Chains A and B, each alone.
Chain A
Amino acid sequence: MKGRVICDGRAAGRVLKSDVPLGLFGHLDPKTGVYREAGHPLDGKCVKGRVLVFPRAKGSTVGSYILYALRKTGKAPAAMVLAECDTIVAVGAIIGAIPCVDGVDLSALTDGAQVKVEGQEVILAAR
């Protein structure tokens, strides 16, 4: 699948998928990489090394700094794939050096699947 490059790079990992928007600030803990939001599909899940797949972000503009902090603590996701990337995630991806692609049909990316992100391409590993 081809999307639009937000932050160029190559990465591989297993998909961690949310069908609903993620709030970065206040939910994603940079110390542990664990997402916390009661009732959210990612509640209690760690983003470290995963290809984080979600439709879009929600919440505070300070969220960009959370992605930067995850890089510093070594808990960053391997890559991010979104339906629609906003300014907060775009800036966060760049300052956190996390490969990021948007404009992708997320339905083909199931939770746990092994994928590669290479520039604008999101490639599902052969089973």
Chain B
Amino acid sequence: MKKGKGAAKAIEILEALGRIHGARDMVPVGSVQVSGVSYNNIGEHGLAFLEEWAAMGSKAVVPAAMNPGGSDRRIWKSLGFTAAFVRKQERVIKALEALGIRPSLTCTPYHVGVTPKLGEHVAWAESSAVCFANSVLGARTNREGGPSAIAAALTGVTPRHGLHTDEGRRPTRVVEVKCPVPAAADAGALGYLVGRLLASDKGGGIPYLTGVVPPPGSERLTWLKALGAGMAASGSVGLYHLACVTPEAAAQGSKLAKAAGQKSVIRSLDEGRAALNRGSGRLDLVAVGCPHASPEDLTRILRLLNWKKAKVPFWIFTAEEVRRHAEQTGVAASLGRCGATLVADTCMVVAPLKELGIHTLATDSAKAAFYLPSHHGAGVYFGSLEQNVAAALRGEWSAR
């Protein structure tokens, strides 16, 4: 372990967390993803803390990435962010960079080259990223917080408990899905229902889902991402098993499901869709890319826009590295001609939406539809990506 005052504080945090959770020992991690980056979330006190920790001079000893911050670093002005907010946001990023954390500013580190292997231990913090790493990649991480993830970055270890252990990855409940779940937004609505269902299960619950599979092709990962993001938002789920699909379920089969003490059936997504789709009145913005859009998502949106022009602002949130790639391939310019803007380094959940004058928006993200009413007082229309593109082109939401 690296010496230094900052690393000593990190060890103190990790040891306390290890004691609380009854960890056997510390386990080395291959990568770290740090949350609590948006100034809109952590505020003045969080910023002061990060600057003090940064001043202690310790640096990350493993690859470490940042979750989205509160503003786009390049086009903040044209999007309506204030200079005062951006200055504070830049100070947060600078403090984290001083701690050796890369300003990737995305909830999808796996789209920008940080892809843990099956069984690899990591310390990730953003809830949808945690769920993706555990479930889809078969890596092992608990749901870390901002300071505990930084502590893991500075020391290269994290307490071994919970989702790092075989026992801690056994399902708590079999969830049999008896309705079609065709699109990513449907997977999000299913995730939302599953998260609610498991809220009272031990440790946030781990579902073993049967009766449903993701669509083939490039929408597969988007669907799996949306499923995890939904259940990590409405519940505290950090791992799901999907029969025949996710690596641990595919390898262990029904043997894994036998560990689950409880069973539930989901017969319809209607209740989830209705709970998430609560918008009314004028549409200020169509926002997709929660979690951040992949390069394949961008081309799918471009196909749906089909060279028509959006009548309301249409923002697609993604990682800066993905945006740069889209700029090189011409996809960004084509989207721009259709009135769609690629927004990077931030997202609809952690940006100061009220300051931007956004009161009602449409999205295909169950996670965003879950958080935006309570976090930002925003009205939200929720539906498929197709419905969102149609709303952008029409300038208003339509139920069909």
A87 near B: Cβ within 8 Å?
yes
Task: Name the one of A68, A93, A94 contacting B45, with C-beta atoms under 8 angstroms.
Answer: A68
* Chain A residue nearest in CB terms to B10: A94
A90 touches B46 (CB 8 A): no
Minimum CB–CB distance from B391 to chain A (whole Å) comes to 31
A78–chain B nearest beta-carbon distance, Å: 19
A91 contacts B42, C-beta separation under 8 Å: no
Verify A95–B19 contact, CB threshold 8 A: no
Residues in B whose Cβ lies below 8 Å from that of A85 = 20
Residue-by-residue, is A91-104 near B (CB-CB < 8 Å gives 1, otherwise 0)? 10111000000100
Contact residues in B for A91 (Cβ distance below 8 Å): 13, 16-17, 145, 147-148
Docked CA distance A61–B17 (Å): 14
**Chain B residue, CB-CB nearest to A61:** B145
Question: A7, A69, A87, A102: which has the most chain B beta carbons within 10 Å?
Answer: A87
Give the residue name and chain of the B residue nearest to A64 (CB): B147
B49 within 8 A of A: yes
Mark each residue of chain A from 49 to 66: 1 if its CB lies under 8 Å from any CB of chain B, else 0.
000000000000110111
Residues from chain B with Cβ under 8 Å of A10 in the complex: none
A5 to B48, CA, bound (A): 26
Specify which chain B residues have a CB less than 8 angstroms from the CB of A69 in the assembled complex. 44-45, 48
Interface size on B, residues (CB 8 A): 20
Q: Which residues of B contact A13 (CB under 8 A)?
A: none
Name the interface residues of A1-18: CB closer than 8 Å to any CB of B: 4-7
Contact across chains for A87 and B17 when beta carbons are under 8 A apart: yes
A-B contact count (CB 8 A): 59
Interface SS of chain A: helix
Is B327 part of the contact surface with A, judged by Cβ < 8 Å? no
Residue of B13, B42, B147 ringed by the most chain A CB atoms within 10 A: B147
**Is B383 positioned at the interface, with any CB of A under 8 Å from its CB?**
no
Residues of B close to A72: CB separation below 8 A: 45, 48
Known contacts A30-B45, A65-B42, A69-B45, A88 near B13 by CB under 8 Å:
no
Is A86's beta carbon under 8 Å from chain B?
yes
- State the CA gap A7–B17 with chains docked (Å): 10
Our pick among A64, A65, A87 for the contact of B20 (Cβ within 8 Å) is A87
With contacts A65-B42, A95-B147 taken as known, whether A4 is within 8 angstroms of B49 at the C-beta atoms is no
Chain A residues lying within 8 Å of B44, measured Cβ to Cβ, are 69
The yes or no answer to B9 lying at the interface (CB within 8 A) is yes
The smallest C-beta distance from B26 to any residue of chain A, in angstroms, reads 16
| Cα distance A87–B147 in the bound complex, in angstroms | 10
Q: Could you tell me which residues of chain A, from 77 to 127, have a CB within 8 Å of some CB in chain B?
A: 85-88, 90-91, 93-95, 102
Whose C-beta in chain B lies nearest to the C-beta of A100?
B16
Besides the known contacts A64-B147, A65-B43, 6 further A-B residue pairs in the complex with CB atoms under 8 A apart: A61-B145, A72-B45, A88-B145, A91-B17, A93-B16, A95-B13
Q: Could you tell me which A residues sit within 8 Å of B by CB distance?
A: 4-7, 30, 61-62, 64-66, 68-69, 72, 85-88, 90-91, 93-95, 102
| A to B CB contacts below 8 Å, 14 in the list | A4-B19, A6-B20, A30-B45, A61-B146, A62-B42, A62-B46, A64-B147, A69-B45, A87-B20, A90-B13, A91-B16, A94-B12, A95-B13, A95-B49
